Amino acid sequence: MSNNISFKDVFIKGAVIYNPVLIQLVGLCPVVAASTTLARAAMLSAVLCIELIVTCVISSAFLKKIPRWVRVPLYIIIGAAIICPLLWYVETQTLLNLSLGMKIFVPLIAVNSMTAVHCEQFSVKNSVKLSLYDAAAAGIGASFIFIIVGAVRELLGYSTVGGIAVNLPITFKGMALPFGCLILLGFLAAGLKAFVARVYPEDSENGEPEIKPVTQASEDYSQEATEVELFDEFWTESVEEEKPDIPVPEAPSAEKDEPKFSTAEEIDELLKSLGIDIDIKGDKQ
Amino acid sequence: MATKTSKQNTVKASQIFGDYLIMLIAPCIVSVMYYGSRAAAVIAVSVLSAVFCDFAASFLLKKRFLLRDTSNIFIGTAIAVMMPAGVPLYVPAIASAAGVLTAKIPFGSSLRAPFVPAAAGFAIASVCFKEQVFDYSLNTEDKLFGAKSLASLLSEGGAIHINIANVFDIVSGNIAGPMGTGCGMLMAVCCCYLFIRRRSALLATAGFVAACVIYAVLFPRVNSSALTSIVLELSAGSLLFGAVFLVTDHSTLPKGGITKVIYGAVCGIICMAMRTVGTYEETVCFAVLMANGFSPVLEAALNALPSFGKTKNKGAAEK
């Protein structure tokens, strides 16, 4: 890959088109488990960005010539080596209680799949500069989603944003639970895919399955005759077993330019012309 | 013969939900009979919310809104009759909206949804508004067990003794609980209707009920006879309603007769197990959603067996 690639190009690809959380679906565990409030999501984002950038840069600089089976565990070790002092510093050296009861979840970032994916697929194959760009783009893209999810979950689940009461008339306790986050992520992923399909159509078509337009789907539905299994089918089960639905393997189809024979005489003539004397019709007996 | 059978099996999409709506008339009448205009208001709000959300989503997605698609009415009505009559009106409205927006719209239509939208909507409401959804205190002065639902009584354990008069109240749904789903007799009539319509989805219902009966005998939650345990478990909450209306959902039901029975049985076991160890007294929606997730795996696993070879190719072709 050329080093002339700008940060903008890498950012658009890494943060938007191939957003690690919504498109690549990596790093879901921390966002589902821990991003229940805006403060938690912000801290998670900061830790993730630092860990991802440092690990990717180190991987790109030093791990290119190391065998793959050694590299992957090294990503985790490097991540843990970054997270542990960072968490220790946050908990002991700062007056702010930033840990927010996330002692279980923050170490998950050290071993999450996002780091391994970006290190293995990009960092060890590219320069340090591009690796830094990619890690920053992925980190920013993931952090943006973390913060949106955290803010929405806090707003709908607790009627607060950043600890400030909003006093919504209805609160949805389910949003604080993992299933609420997964539903929210589903809608965000659909929105991002629609955005990418509209703004970057050439990228959305690459590697993505073709999505049937919803208008077409609705037209299908309007004329749809659905197959519903009735009891008749089970009463005639024995009959169907005699004629199984197993597709019979088709005989190798003859090429279009090959001769086709309909009668035994024609086959006999062809064989004679080839010097093969086989009695097809059994006349010689 | 096979051609004839497949021709017979081809049914218009609207007919599927048409049958459900015909069956749902009875629970709606029972709801209004027991709880008056309040029940009608809950049903109306729920249905309107479902239809409006589908219309709004269709408009936003530039998709044609189909009046003949009656699945919205089914979703709204099914959710409403599973609610208590005294529930705040915003709860069924949100539940229906959640069912339509999370389990129907993203997948195109109810016939393509991998989860039952009505079950999804009620499950979301159960989690988000647990106190309101399980508050059965409206119009329960003359009910058999007062404001306590049968499901909550079962979860408390102890001894419940019933006689002939009590049994009639229980199977007719004249007890505190969901406003339209407690009437076991009506559910039996609905099963008969499905049988007359020759829907093989009834096999899943049979598997579900059989599993629940066996579970109730093996692991009774009351210090009474096995028959009492069966009657109480089947009559509690929306279990039978779920067996008839949710388990039989066309889009999530596996193909093949025995596979349907096993799917229903798995669903019933999950439902009863969640009743025993879970925190929610109404578990049929959660069980249906979990079984929906297992449905393709279950079908694939069963089709891998030699005796299921017939359904294997058919299921693969349709999926």
Position B111 in a domain = yes
What is the number of structural domains in chain B? 1
Question: What does the alpha-carbon distance between residue A15 and residue A200 come to, in Å, rounded to a whole number?
Answer: 13
Which residues of B are less than 8 Å from A247 in CB distance?
A: 313
Domain interval for residue B105: 13-139+157-318
Q: Does B1 touch chain A (CB under 8 A)?
A: yes
Distance from A145 to chain B by nearest Cα, in Å? Answer: 20
- Window 249-278 of B: residues touching A by CB (8 A cutoff) are 250, 255, 257
User: What pLDDT, in 10s, does the model give residues B45-81?
Assistant: 999 999 999 999 989 888 888 777 888 999 999 999 9
Question: What does the alpha-carbon distance between residue A35 and residue A1 come to, in Å, rounded to a whole number?
Answer: 35
* Mean pLDDT of the region B11-18: 76
Question: Which of A215, A224, A239 is opposite residue B63, by nearest beta carbon?
Answer: A215
pTM: 0.78
Best to test chain A binding among B9, B107, B263 (most A CBs inside 10 Å): B9
The answer to whether the CB atoms of B64 and A244 lie below 8 A apart is no
Which of A101-105, A181-185, A269-273, A274-278 has the largest mean confidence?
A181-185
* DSSP assignments along A70-96, one per residue: HHHHHHHHHHHHHHHHHHHHHHHT-SS
* Mean pLDDT of the region B20-35: 91
Q: Say which CATH number the domain at B307 has.
A: 1.10.3430
The answer to whether the CB atoms of A226 and B318 lie below 8 A apart is no
Q: What is the mean pLDDT of chain B?
A: 85
Number of H helices, E strands in chain A: 13, 3
Position B151 in a domain = no
Q: Does B319 touch chain A (CB under 8 A)?
A: no
* Mean pLDDT of the region B13-27: 86
Question: What does the alpha-carbon distance between residue B7 and residue A228 come to, in Å, rounded to a whole number?
Answer: 10
Question: Which of B62, B128, B310 is opposite residue A244, by nearest beta carbon?
Answer: B310
Question: Which of A183, A219, A233 is opposite residue B102, by nearest beta carbon?
Answer: A183
Amino acid A101: pLDDT: 60
* Mean pLDDT of the region A29-48: 86
User: What pLDDT, in 10s, does the model give residues B85-121?
Assistant: 889 999 999 999 999 999 998 888 878 889 999 999 9
Position B144 in a domain = no
Best to test chain B binding among A188, A192, A215, A233 (most B CBs inside 10 Å): A233
Position B8 in a domain = no
Least confident segment among A27-36, B151-160, B201-210, B217-226: B151-160
Which residues of B are less than 8 Å from A224 in CB distance?
A: 12-13, 111
Q: Does B90 touch chain A (CB under 8 A)?
A: yes
More confident residue, A284 or A132: A132
Residues B43 and B28 sit within 8 Å (Cβ to Cβ): yes
Question: What does the alpha-carbon distance between residue B17 and residue B250 come to, in Å, rounded to a whole number?
Answer: 10
Amino acid A8: pLDDT: 83
> Is residue A241 scored above 50 in pLDDT?
no
Amino acid A40: pLDDT: 85
Question: Which of B68, B250, B314 is opposite residue A228, by nearest beta carbon?
Answer: B250
Amino acid B297: pLDDT: 87
Percent pLDDT > 90 in chain A is 22
